[in-house]
Amino acid sequence: MIQKKQLSLLNRADEACDLLRSHINDQHVVRIISHNDADGLTSAGIFANAISKAGGRFHVTILPRLRDSNVKELNKSRYKLFVFSDMGSGNLESISKLKGDVIIADHHQVPGDSDPEIQSDNKEIIHVNPHIYDIDGTKDVSGSGLSYLSVHELGYYELAPLALVGAYGDMQFKNGPTGINKLILDEATEHNVMRIEEDLKLAYANTQPLKKSITYTYTPPISGLSGNSLETEEFLDENGINKNETLDRITTDEYETLKDKLVEINPDIYGEVYKINNIRSELTNIEEYSNLLNSCGKNKEYTAALSIQLGRYEQFDYAQNLLAKYASTMQDGVEWIKREGSIQEQNIQYIYTEDKQQKQVAAAVSSIGIELGLLPDKPILSLMRMDNLIKVSSRTTDEMVERGVNLDVIMNQASANFNGSGGGHNIAAGATIPYNQMDNFIHLVDEMVDYQLNHN
Ligand code: C5P
Ligand code: C5P
Ligand code: ZN
């Protein structure tokens, strides 16, 4: 059943698709601007695929963050249609000054002081954002899902898997797909482009040997094994399971033993997994596909990320190497948290790093640290030094959000106090602040969390 508010969002997305189609028909090159993580890369991949399938042309730019200065820069070019995906809702004012038509397919919270229904006399701006319709943009749909909805009328159901790869990358599937994500999954299985299987939810199941695959599985956590390579090897040896083989290649007996033993540790480890049909085996699992794109993004290899999605595999082996490195960097990050923990304030905790590798994974391992019980369940800041600036990532849990914590509001307001900028989602948000204000920022965030916990 489609809810009324969902229908309103789908209608808005159809308006976007009409606009896109008219520009394709007029042979305009579509200017796509998107985010550098798996969600942003699949958002761009969906638009790029749809446009080229419809016989049009596009030009993609991938950015770590959209600044008003980036938008201003775009006004120097003469594109007739700009598409912002997985970003844009925080820059409505500057986007409204662009000279061409605009589609925004974004799931970030719209800042409180701006009107989501932006209008312009001389051009069309279609803002496709779930928050306008009171739909949860943190769990129920991601940038890639909104991008898929925005090309939906063109009928390319084979792009639905990319929408789910992006949503997975944004950690929207912790309790399985819900809301719009579920609608997209249903459509994908109906059209036979995806299938749902009961399986072990191990990371890198098709590409890494079990000894790594199990160690690298952080969600759901496998207590004692997740993040512990020695213990994982011992566990596999003791149970007579070939630790050097991938999950999809062990014997049925080995599989059954493994399943029983892992389910004993955490029942959530076995359940529905969402797989893509008719694609090379390394990309079958949406989790692996999403990690592959993320690792390309972290290494600024955006062309590789896009060409793979367009079905061109010249850079595939190279991307696989980046993925293997990314997975081990993540594991090093988990070791770092195990070794050093986090620094405690009253209501929050933080980690700080200047190391290039650690910066790549700090935000992710801060969440994993809480999930694995290595860190307390308090909102966590990852503080990463970039010369005179600090890049901040903040993460928290569903429990904290239920108790009133909203990191989007905190990152936005606290950073503004120190001439910085920030925002995001209630459960995960980011900011940039001057280095010399770091301590003040930490204290302000600590006070704001206290306030949110006690005034909600
Ligand atoms: O920019 P964007 O919206 O794509 O990124 C969302 C971020 O929120 C991701 O880094 C994702 O890992 C994080 N997230 C999280 N926990 C959730 C949902 C999202 O850490 N439950
Ligand atoms: O950078 P990080 O992964 O911590 O960002 C978490 C979430 O906050 C992402 O959805 C990101 O797009 C968003 N964000 C934002 N504005 C910022 C920084 C981060 O909207 N200035
Ligand atoms: Zn996103």
Dump pLDDT digits (tens) for 374-433: 999 999 999 999 999 999 999 999 999 999 999 999 999 999 999 999 999 999 999 999
Distance 428 CA to ligand 2 centre (A): 7
Q: Rounded to an integer, what distance in angstroms lies between the CA atom of residue 36 and that of residue 166?
A: 11
Distance 116 CA to ligand 2 centre (A): 19
Nearest ligand to residue 294 Cα? 1
Strand partners, 422: 431
- Asked whether the predicted pLDDT for residue 456 surpasses 80, the reply is no
Read off the pTM.
0.96
> For ligand 1, atom 20, which residue shows the shortest CA distance?
428
Distance 108 CA to ligand 2 centre (A): 9
The ipTM estimated for the assembled molecules is 0.98
Mutate to test the pocket of ligand 2, among 62, 65, 129 (most ligand atoms within 8 A of CB): 65
Q: Rounded to an integer, what distance in angstroms lies between the CA atom of residue 366 and that of residue 171?
A: 14
Is the C-beta atom of 177 inside 6 A of ligand 2?
no
Is the C-beta atom of 393 inside 6 A of ligand 2?
yes
Name the least confident of 119-133, 284-298, 308-322, 356-370: 119-133
All domains of the chain, ordered by start, with CATH? 4-193 (3.90.1640.30), 198-276+279-332 (no CATH), 341-454 (3.10.310.30)
Chain centre distance of CA 418: 27
Q: Specify the ligand 2 atom closest to the Cα of 394.
A: 4
- If you average pLDDT over every residue of the chain, what do you get? 96
Dump pLDDT digits (tens) for 120-164: 878 999 999 999 999 999 999 999 999 999 999 999 999 999 999
Mutate to test the pocket of ligand 1, among 170, 174, 375 (most ligand atoms within 8 A of CB): 170
Summarize the confidence of residues 47-58 as an average pLDDT: 98
Summarize the confidence of residues 177-196 as an average pLDDT: 98
Distance 1 CA to ligand 3 centre (A): 25
